[in-house]
Amino acid sequence: MSMWNINARVQKLDTRGRRIIAVSDIHANMPYFKGLLEKVGFSESDELIIDGDFLEKGERSLETLRFIMKLAERGNCRVVCGNCDTWADVIDAEWQYWSSRIVKYMLFKKSGLMWDMLTEMGVEIREDMDFERLIPELAERFKPEWDFLHAMPHVIETPHYIFAHGGIKPDIPIERQRGGDCMKFDAFMDYGYTFDKWVIVGHWPVMLYLADHVCANPIIDREHRVISIDGGCSLKDDGQLNALIIPYEGSEDFSFEAYDPFPVRRVKSSQRGGGKSYYIRWGDNDVQVLRRGEEFSLVRHVRTGYEMEILTKYLYSDEEFCKCNDSTDLVLSLEAGDEVSVVEETSRGYLVKHKGTSGWYWGELI
């Protein structure tokens, strides 16, 4: 039966006093993942928990899967199934459903686990291909990978923490909750659930919880005992891959590290920020183009009427009404000497990140 429709599989885990490192939503981005592991100093004395969605979106799904399988062999890496990781269903239970959809998906994405597997087999991916005919060979050739994916739990539970990719409900035993709900629980923190144990989730990029600015750092809600850690890796141009760090089982002294590849520079002159700002984001990114320029365009956010200038290359079409890439007009408060990561360099200034928050700096960087 599909991972989506069965009751949640829960893996009980004794972390044995180790430092716990939780990472979610790697999305096949190996440079970010390796960079983050190096930054946190991951070692055999740690417990690494991959909190779902390590596949798809990025360009190295099969490589990422095999890398995580190798880590898991060491005995201190555990993996939660995310909504992007359920590919074993194609082989085990859902091939009739997928056979009519998988080819269109692969040709649209031109990446992903199935794309990588078929490419390794030397199969040309075409619109008229007979995918169903290839399933037995896929099942045999990649059996270790399918076995690993099929065995993943929906939830990992320790004495003090619960790791689920999407989320869980507080009033139903976890084992009686639907696996699909644990993997895909959109905007989980907005429900206001309160838990006895800390619940650590990914799935919903943390910046989507914000209205007037963009910050990719984990959100720690101590009142409700919920932590959301998806930093938008592979999905957001200014995203990052976060690692929640728990010093030992039972600790609430949470910290985090984040990795992104952006060049780091220093602010030459202080800048006073603040003022009105807005964040146009995925799912609410319909705009009207009021003035289209070569580098910047003035747009009106359709739902709110808010007007702001965004990078012209962030517009998805040449039409007056269209969608756009995530955009902010926040002007950051910065002091001379502050380190910033440069996301975009323009003729007017820089789109930068400072301590996880994205915004504009109009001065000179050194």
pLDDT in tens, 25-81: 999 999 999 999 999 999 999 999 999 999 999 999 999 999 999 999 999 999 999
For the cut 80, the answer to whether the pLDDT of residue 83 exceeds it is yes
**CA 328 to CA 276: how far, in whole Å?**
11
Instruction: Please report where in the chains the tokens 């183009």 appear, as a residue.
Output: 289
Closest of 25, 10, 21 to residue 157, by C-alpha: 10
Determine if the pTM surpasses 0.75.
Answer: yes
Average pLDDT over residues 197-210: 97
Instruction: Please report where in the chains the tokens 């060049």 appear, as a residue.
Output: 263
**Higher-confidence residue: 274 or 164?**
164
pLDDT at 140: 96
Average pLDDT over residues 127-154: 94
Per residue in 142-191, pLDDT (tens digit) is: 999 999 999 999 999 999 999 999 999 999 999 999 999 999 999 999 99
Domains and CATH numbers, the chain: 10-85+152-259 (3.60.21.10), 265-361 (no CATH)
The answer to whether the beta carbons of residues 208 and 239 sit under 8 Å apart is no
Distance of CA 353 to the CA centre of its chain: 18
**CA 165 to CA 50: how far, in whole Å?**
9
User: In which band, very low, low, confident or very high, does the pLDDT at 2 lie, cut at 50, 70 and 90?
Assistant: confident
pLDDT at 91: 79
Closest of 339, 353, 326, 196 to residue 266, by C-alpha: 339
**CA 90 to CA 21: how far, in whole Å?**
30
How buried is residue 228: exposed, middle or buried, by Cβ count under 10 Å (0-12/13-18/19+)?
buried
Strand, coil or helix: what is 319?
A: coil
Going 64 to 65 to 69 to 70, the CA torsion angle's sign is negative
Within 121-260, residue ranges assigned H as helices are: 131-141, 143-151, 179-183
Strand, coil or helix: what is 114?
A: helix
- Quickly count: other Cβ atoms within 10 Å of residue 108's Cβ: 9
The answer to whether the beta carbons of residues 79 and 54 sit under 8 Å apart is yes
How buried is residue 32: exposed, middle or buried, by Cβ count under 10 Å (0-12/13-18/19+)?
buried
The answer to whether the beta carbons of residues 242 and 23 sit under 8 Å apart is yes
Residues with Cβ within 8 Å of 286's Cβ and at least 6 positions away in sequence, in order, are 301, 302, 303, 321, 322, 323
Give the tokens for residue 266. Answer: 């220093």
**CA 138 to CA 145: how far, in whole Å?**
10
